[in-house]
Structure 1
Amino acid sequence: MKEDWLIEPLQEQRFDRARIKRLRNKMEKRKASICSERAKLYTQVFQNNEGEPYILRKAQAFAYTLTHMSIYAEEDSLIFGNMASCNFAAPIYPEYSIQWVLDELDSFAQRDGDVFTISEQVKQDIKDIAPFWLSHTHEDEVNRHISDDIRLAEKQGVLHRGGISMSGDGHIVPDHAMVLRYGFRYFIQQAQTALQKDDISASSKAYYEAVILVLEAALQYCKRFAIYFKEKAKTCKDIAKQMEYRELSDMAATMLEQGARSFHEGCEIVYLIHIWQMIESNGHSFCYGRFDQYMLDLYEQDIKKGILTKENALEIITHMFLMNSSCNKVRPYGHTRFSQGYPLYSNLVVGGLMPNGKDGTNTLSYLCIEAMHLCSLAEPNFSARYHKDSPRSFVEACAKLIRTGCGMPSMFHDETAVAGLLSLGIPKEDALDYCPIGCVETGVPGKYGHRATGMTYVNWGKVLEIMLHNGYDPASGIRMLPYTASEEAFVDFQNYEELWQAWKTYLKFYSDISVQCDAICDASLAVYDADPFASCLIQDSLKLGKTLKEGGCRYDVISQSNIGPSVVGNSLYAIKKLVFEDKRFTMKELLAAMHDNWQTEASRKIHKLVKKAAKFGNDQDEVDKIVADVFYSYLALLSDYETLRKGKGPKVSCYTMSTSNITSYVPNGFVVGATPDGRYAGTPLNEGCSPTQGSDTQGPTAVINSVAKLPNHMVAAGQLLNMRFAPAALQGDEI
């Protein structure tokens, strides 16, 4: 298969590059806007079904929306389906949170980033429905239960919970292979059979009824497009386009009643599942998973039949990728600092080992890479798995795409990722079948529940600052955990062991609070994020009669986002080396220089010394070990933390670790003063597990060697290592 790709290059004349270019240009020039359609339709249903189980209310609203929302198709696209009334419009989800929408109605278009236009009619629509939802949303429910400790930790700048307390969960990969094999009628029949049981619980009964409602509505959505394309064909003058409309109409008319009948239909189904999940819930990171694996049978079937060429397949894949860019999500302005650039994190991965341990790279792996060359847009979030026996041609193809500057594919090392999942107790066959979820999180497609990462964000830089100030946050003055009985905002640590024990004490204190925060948000999401559509596409959900949040999945693994480990490790090393070993200055002198933000003459002398101290990312064991110790200090806590679903269905239910902090290392740095590593107040913390900005001076190999010393095999929700190269360094094909 790989050799076929190399021997038989693409025949340019066999696919319509101009058409792709037109569609891409439209997606590139699209303007973000706010759509009120979903909010109005959901409100209508919720106003009329009060008193029913919440999951049925949501299912009825979802079904009503799919059968009454506007539908349209992009003129040049072979893939159809829309989640809002126009291209790149973001729906409003009032059941999750509405107050922030009201607060920002007049400022969406004035933002300095992630700008959204909003019409006066849409503003009025939102004002009209808002009274029904105020005090009855997921956010309201969370706020009713948030403890004083959580609020204080948030005011200190240690915790950030915005996303999980104001939106849905997301972070999920459906069982695409099963849907493509059987279609939705198969799932409907399973739910109908379960409803016949005598011992069915009320909650399971409501769930199965909800599943039938949402899947039948999805089938009706397809039939609406069948009629839409049939009407388009009637008025179309162009014979070729008329034939295309008829083919799309025929495909939509019976699609998903059974399994996919062609490669084109398979791609369409995968895309529709994606947008239906985003209509149901306003979480993010609804992912495509291992596209080149579950689509391969359909590709080979159509090639063998002579109804598909490699070029046809490339065109369809490219259209699907481009249509992903028609989707959008609006976040509160404060949250955009943590997730900038209208991100959806719709991860699609190619390559890597198969469940049998053999390499799974195939023609579709390369076609997806070529499709990304043609798209060159931020979505889908494209990734590649590689291992020691990956084909050289595949790795080089990935490198050439990275060289374009698009920042993709993200590269996932199989040996490390698989080891991480095995450490959680996940069977080897499933671990080998992992895929990225969202940014760098890893999970098992079709078997993982929600939120592989991204629960509460925990600012480790702030934890360090508070620890050094005897429990005080210098910015807010809030003190939650004194280290000594003294009222002074200073601890005169006598040796490194005392300093290290203090770090572990404060890390545990704030980690415990953050897990409490997770549980409160999770409990509310179990009600307000009831998602029968997304849940039924995960294995064991229908068998257990539970949504994912109730325990209806095979593996329930969650993590927080831990921000600033390199800053913490570098800072601890600087104190160890310069205060305790070399005695170049005292703890009091160091803190005074930090309070001055390194600006006075005396402070600048200390700053010069701490900047010269060894830094993570340069393959220096003494500091790399301390950064690794920082990771281990958190990993040691995780066995004490449980998810709300433990013992309720999943075979594995636990916490793990992730450094997937997206752009949040920037706003988290805003609230942290100067740190002992020489960092200035208010500047960014380190990104993911990457070295601090500008501190890696020995080249990329040294960076990788330093990162390799971390306990990556235990960080099962993924490590984020970003490396930037000057374009000139990547010119030419010589390695």
Structure 2
Amino acid sequence: MAAKAPRYQMMDMVSERIRRLRERFIATVPEISAQRARIVTAAYEDTMNMPAVLRRGVVLSRILEEMDIYIADDELLVGGMAEMPRGVPLFPEYAVDFIMRELDEFETRVADRFVLPPETKEELRRLLPRWEGACLNDYAFPLFSEEGRKAAGNFCYLLTATRSGVGHMIVDYEYWLQKGIPGIIADLEGLRDSVDRMDPEACERLEFYKSALLMMAAARRFVLRYAALAHSQAETCAGDERRRELELIAQTCEHLAAHKPETFRQACQSFLFLHLILQLEANGHSVSPGRFDQYMYPFFKADLEAAPNAGEMAEELIHCLWIKLSEINKVRDKLNSIAFGGYPMFQHITLGGQDKDGKCAVNELSYMCLDATARVGLFQPSTSIRWFYGMPDEFLNFAVRIASFGTGMPAFFNDEVLIPNMLQLGYNLEQARGYAVVGCTEETVPGVAEPWLTGGFFNLAKMIEYTIFDGMDITTGEQQQFRTGAVEDFGSFEDFVAAYKKQLGYYVRLHIACDNILDIAHARLMPTVFEGIVMQGCKESGKSSMQGGALFNSTTINAVGIANVADSLACIRQAVYEDKIFTWAALKDALRANYVGHEKIRAYMKNRVPKYGTDTEAVDAIGNDIVNELYAIISLYKNPRNGPYLLALYSISTNVMVADRTGATPDGRKMGESLADGGVSCSHGVDKEGPTALLNSVAKLDPYKATGSTLLNLKLHPSVFEDDRNIAKVSALFKTFFLNKGQHIQLNVVDAATLRDAQKHPEKHAFLTVRVAGFSVFFTTIDPRTQEEIIARTEHFG
């Protein structure tokens, strides 16, 4: 029998408890729960005349007090989103249209399938119509301009947070752990009591404090409910060992209701309660734990000093926590299940980097968290490391080895670029050194910022289509309002680029106008008060993070398809203007026909023109010029929270989602073929000059313009990592890229043959994990189109 692959050897190195928990996780299909929807519906109907800030306090309090809870066999850490393992609640206050439309399809989906029992479905058919016309999206959509709605419908951009919470933040976990529930309640009471009631402006803060104190009191009762349940289960438990575990769970919860955590176990449980309540308040994804190895380390260190075997106990607790984080889930509509397939929640843990004094922050927990990612073998939490000049090679090599096991984790980030980017945004040096990664590859400073990091995905390639056809959408045949003139009248390549930049400016403005409306809608209807309790600035100002209460506020526009645009412009410059190989008429005919019958033109564009990703200066410069233009356009605007708009170069899987609505492009890409993956990755199949050429092209994009983040995918064959010498070579490759000011890089380490076999025999590959974009998922749970896109990425050998 063939030896197990290194990854599966690592997954064997866990306790029997973790094996059982992991196997149950894999065997359990996520199930939609109606409980939260039922509780929220009743709470909203009971509070119709209540201001939104207070209303949200009542709503969350009732959820925490009325939802059924469970403690599963073998669990050492407790808490869940619904009444059953892998249960998924609904958030009707944001949107019900897609749930009602797809109610009969959730169980038969190809990607992101959910169990939906008949009795749950019938209850939802009764509950959800009561929300029609009263959801957040019902408020926001009518306020978009007609052009704004049309552009979104044409996939010029994809708007996020229209049917869910915003998420994409890192709260002050350290404050929560250092204060504990009683300490935070005392802080809120002190702020409430210090309000000068003769000052009308100060009096407005009282509403926030009342809501926040309602929530914290409910959070305390929520914790005590788990204590009571653990005691109850212990009384009827047959086994002595499990009875002792249940009593310890009860004691831990009782302690947390009355005191701040003191041990690593208590800190893990306290962290999990906070993380779950944030999810139950607003179902935005990318609620990220941040620098877990830093704020948890004092508890770990104290345990080690008190007991020699504390490290082993901590290891199992981390493994249990990784499984609990993997259980957190949300229901997305069918279209978004393509872009976000595989049930990801983008809960990002950032390891290593620097401390506030600029010294190396790597500690024992940093290693243990990376090790847990490999041994537990699930897709959550996302893990990353921060690299800087002072990082020991030992830690980088260890991280590369963990990545070689094929989970797509960790990803790698460059302090030498990202700390200066944080300084650009106004953070002080200590804050900038404390940055962490949110969601995919976005960066923020924990506990002080509401960064709204996915203000939407802007389709750069669609603007090429609109420029060539003077505003005509060739996928629908519809003429758009904004026009830049017939390309036949452009006398030079520079004229064409100028027209393209005008299209960018017009549609970016439409995009931002829609984002502003969404921003206001969330502030008015869905103020995130509980998040504000653990976000610096919110308690002091008496405003939730959605209302601009955080110390720092921003919104990020995420540009998709920079490689396709650079390649398309290079093809136009060479084939139409410089060498005059094809006329505009011939090229337009080819694009309209999706290259059918025009194979000669397509072959020339794909094979005879240098491309981004091959270290070709002339093409890379085009890409950088578009980055500079986007930065200049986006920097003109501020959001309703008086923060800047930022540029990011990443796509998640929207490069697949927009493929059918983006016409054929001059780089030889056909309509229906996905755009370039990642964000700054090259188009599929272009990087034939090897990874070094690709990294050189990426490094030529100004890293200080994309302050919202960049995303680079690199696919390496498993044979690259056959020994320690090759591990060191990959580490050296990464270091060179970072010294050249690359921001980020992440790996897929899997061969195409394995992926093809997983398509044919999914039952044999339950744990096969791939890096889709800034997140990892089980390959067999994602949409076939996304599977094909991953397989199509160039596979580099040693």
Aligned counterpart, 2:604: 608
In the TM superposition, what whole-angstrom CA distance separates every residue of 1:668-702 from its partner, at most 9, and x where no partner exists?
12211211111112110112110011111111111
Following the alignment from structure 2 to structure 1, what is the Cα–Cα distance between the partners of residues 280 and 200?
A: 29
1:232 matches 2:247: no
Match of 1:123 among 121, 124, 131: 121
Structure 1 residues 26-65: aligned runs within 5 Å: 26-65=24-63
Once the 2 structures are TM-superposed, how far is the Cα of residue 582 of structure 1 from its aligned partner?
A: 2.0
Q: Secondary structure at the match of 2:77?
A: coil
- CA-atom RMSD in angstroms: 1.6
1:718 matches 2:709: yes
Following the alignment from structure 2 to structure 1, what is the Cα–Cα distance between the partners of residues 424 and 610?
A: 32
Structure 1 residues 281-430: aligned runs within 5 Å: 281-306=282-307, 309-430=310-431
Following the alignment from structure 2 to structure 1, what is the Cα–Cα distance between the partners of residues 314 and 391?
A: 23
Once the 2 structures are TM-superposed, how far is the Cα of residue 425 of structure 1 from its aligned partner?
A: 2.2
Letter in 1 for 2:694: V
In the TM superposition, what whole-angstrom CA distance separates every residue of 1:620-670 from its partner, at most 9, and x where no partner exists?
111111111111110011221101011xxxxxx211111232111011122
Once the 2 structures are TM-superposed, how far is the Cα of residue 456 of structure 1 from its aligned partner?
A: 2.3
1:168 matches 2:165: yes
Q: Label 1:670 to 1:366 Cα distance change in 2 as closer, same or farther (>3 A).
A: same
Structure 1 residues 294-693: aligned runs within 5 Å: 294-306=295-307, 309-451=310-452, 453-476=453-476, 477-484=478-485, 490-600=487-597, 603-605=599-601, 607-646=603-642, 653-687=643-677, 688-693=679-684
Q: Is the 8 A contact 2:587 2:601 kept in 1?
A: no
Q: Is the 8 A contact 1:470 1:491 kept in 2?
A: no
Structure 1 window deviating more from structure 2 (91-100 vs 587-596): it is: 587-596
Letter in 1 for 2:330: K
Following the alignment from structure 1 to structure 2, what is the Cα–Cα distance between the partners of residues 665 and 278?
A: 27
Once the 2 structures are TM-superposed, how far is the Cα of residue 507 of structure 1 from its aligned partner?
A: 0.4
Gap runs ≥5 in structure 2: 1-9, 727-798
Q: Is the 8 A contact 2:649 2:680 kept in 1?
A: yes
Once the 2 structures are TM-superposed, how far is the Cα of residue 190 of structure 1 from its aligned partner?
A: 2.5
Letter in 2 for 1:85: E
Aligned counterpart, 1:273: 274
In the TM superposition, what whole-angstrom CA distance separates every residue of 1:524-583 from its partner, at most 9, and x where no partner exists?
111232111111100111001100111111111210221111100111111112222222
Q: Is the 8 A contact 1:618 1:703 kept in 2?
A: yes
Once the 2 structures are TM-superposed, how far is the Cα of residue 84 of structure 1 from its aligned partner?
A: 0.7
Letter in 2 for 1:674: A
In the TM superposition, what whole-angstrom CA distance separates every residue of 1:191-223 from its partner, at most 9, and x where no partner exists?
222323212646422211110011111111111
* Percent identical: 28
Aligned counterpart, 1:7: none
Q: Secondary structure at the match of 1:724?
A: strand
Structure 1 window deviating more from structure 2 (528-537 vs 280-289): it is: 528-537
Following the alignment from structure 1 to structure 2, what is the Cα–Cα distance between the partners of residues 259 and 57?
A: 28
Q: Is the 8 A contact 2:36 2:89 kept in 1?
A: yes
Q: Secondary structure at the match of 1:164?
A: coil
Q: Label 1:492 to 1:405 Cα distance change in 2 as closer, same or farther (>3 A).
A: farther
Q: Is the 8 A contact 2:255 2:261 kept in 1?
A: no
In the TM superposition, what whole-angstrom CA distance separates every residue of 1:40-72 from its partner, at most 9, and x where no partner exists?
111121221220112212211211111111111
Aligned counterpart, 2:135: 137
Following the alignment from structure 1 to structure 2, what is the Cα–Cα distance between the partners of residues 727 and 559?
A: 35
Aligned counterpart, 2:784: none
Following the alignment from structure 2 to structure 1, what is the Cα–Cα distance between the partners of residues 308 and 404?
A: 34
Once the 2 structures are TM-superposed, how far is the Cα of residue 284 of structure 1 from its aligned partner?
A: 0.6
Structure 1 residues 192-203: aligned runs within 5 Å: 192-196=189-193, 197=195, 198=197, 199=199, 201=201, 203=204
Q: Secondary structure at the match of 1:527?
A: helix
In the TM superposition, what whole-angstrom CA distance separates every residue of 1:457-514 from its partner, at most 9, and x where no partner exists?
2111111111111111112213121112x6xxx5443212101111110100000000
In the TM superposition, what whole-angstrom CA distance separates every residue of 1:296-319 from its partner, at most 9, and x where no partner exists?
111111111127522211111111
Q: Is the 8 A contact 2:182 2:260 kept in 1?
A: no
In the TM superposition, what whole-angstrom CA distance separates every residue of 1:399-429 from its partner, at most 9, and x where no partner exists?
1111111111111111111122222222221
Aligned counterpart, 1:6: none
Q: Secondary structure at the match of 1:85?
A: coil
Name the TM-score, length of structure 1 as normaliser: 0.94
Q: Label 1:604 to 1:640 Cα distance change in 2 as closer, same or farther (>3 A).
A: same
Letter in 2 for 1:167: S
Following the alignment from structure 2 to structure 1, what is the Cα–Cα distance between the partners of residues 129 and 473?
A: 38
Once the 2 structures are TM-superposed, how far is the Cα of residue 610 of structure 1 from its aligned partner?
A: 4.3
Following the alignment from structure 1 to structure 2, what is the Cα–Cα distance between the partners of residues 203 and 666?
A: 46
Aligned counterpart, 1:701: 692
Aligned counterpart, 1:650: none
Q: Is the 8 A contact 1:207 1:547 kept in 2?
A: yes
Following the alignment from structure 1 to structure 2, what is the Cα–Cα distance between the partners of residues 444 and 373?
A: 27
Q: Is the 8 A contact 1:39 1:93 kept in 2?
A: yes
Following the alignment from structure 2 to structure 1, what is the Cα–Cα distance between the partners of residues 524 and 605?
A: 54
Following the alignment from structure 2 to structure 1, what is the Cα–Cα distance between the partners of residues 158 and 705?
A: 24
Q: Is the 8 A contact 2:528 2:544 kept in 1?
A: yes
Q: Is the 8 A contact 1:611 1:677 kept in 2?
A: no
Q: Secondary structure at the match of 2:580?
A: coil
Following the alignment from structure 2 to structure 1, what is the Cα–Cα distance between the partners of residues 308 and 63?
A: 35
Following the alignment from structure 1 to structure 2, what is the Cα–Cα distance between the partners of residues 294 and 195?
A: 28
Q: Label 1:422 to 1:450 Cα distance change in 2 as closer, same or farther (>3 A).
A: closer
Letter in 1 for 2:466: I
1:179 matches 2:176: yes
Once the 2 structures are TM-superposed, how far is the Cα of residue 455 of structure 1 from its aligned partner?
A: 1.4
Q: Is the 8 A contact 1:67 1:221 kept in 2?
A: yes
Letter in 1 for 2:588: L
In the TM superposition, what whole-angstrom CA distance separates every residue of 1:263-296 from its partner, at most 9, and x where no partner exists?
1111111111111111111111111100000111
Following the alignment from structure 1 to structure 2, what is the Cα–Cα distance between the partners of residues 456 and 520?
A: 13
Once the 2 structures are TM-superposed, how far is the Cα of residue 396 of structure 1 from its aligned partner?
A: 1.3
Q: Secondary structure at the match of 1:713?
A: coil
Once the 2 structures are TM-superposed, how far is the Cα of residue 729 of structure 1 from its aligned partner?
A: 2.0
Gap runs ≥5 in structure 1: 1-11, 647-652
Following the alignment from structure 1 to structure 2, what is the Cα–Cα distance between the partners of residues 609 and 463?
A: 19
Following the alignment from structure 1 to structure 2, what is the Cα–Cα distance between the partners of residues 535 and 605?
A: 56
Q: Secondary structure at the match of 1:510?
A: helix
Following the alignment from structure 2 to structure 1, what is the Cα–Cα distance between the partners of residues 413 and 206?
A: 41
Name the TM-score, length of structure 2 as normaliser: 0.87
Aligned counterpart, 2:731: none
Q: Label 1:555 to 1:705 Cα distance change in 2 as closer, same or farther (>3 A).
A: same
Structure 1 window deviating more from structure 2 (626-635 vs 588-597): it is: 588-597
Aligned counterpart, 1:8: none
Following the alignment from structure 1 to structure 2, what is the Cα–Cα distance between the partners of residues 520 and 455?
A: 11
In the TM superposition, what whole-angstrom CA distance separates every residue of 1:322-343 from its partner, at most 9, and x where no partner exists?
1111121001112212211111
Following the alignment from structure 1 to structure 2, what is the Cα–Cα distance between the partners of residues 385 and 268?
A: 26
Q: Is the 8 A contact 1:472 1:480 kept in 2?
A: no
- Total equivalences in the alignment: 709
Following the alignment from structure 2 to structure 1, what is the Cα–Cα distance between the partners of residues 200 and 104?
A: 49
Aligned counterpart, 1:101: 99
Following the alignment from structure 1 to structure 2, what is the Cα–Cα distance between the partners of residues 124 and 403?
A: 47
Once the 2 structures are TM-superposed, how far is the Cα of residue 364 of structure 1 from its aligned partner?
A: 0.2
Q: Secondary structure at the match of 1:657?
A: strand
Q: Secondary structure at the match of 1:279?
A: helix
Following the alignment from structure 2 to structure 1, what is the Cα–Cα distance between the partners of residues 390 and 581?
A: 50
Letter in 1 for 2:636: D
Letter in 2 for 1:612: R
Q: Is the 8 A contact 1:560 1:658 kept in 2?
A: yes
Q: Label 1:684 to 1:71 Cα distance change in 2 as closer, same or farther (>3 A).
A: same
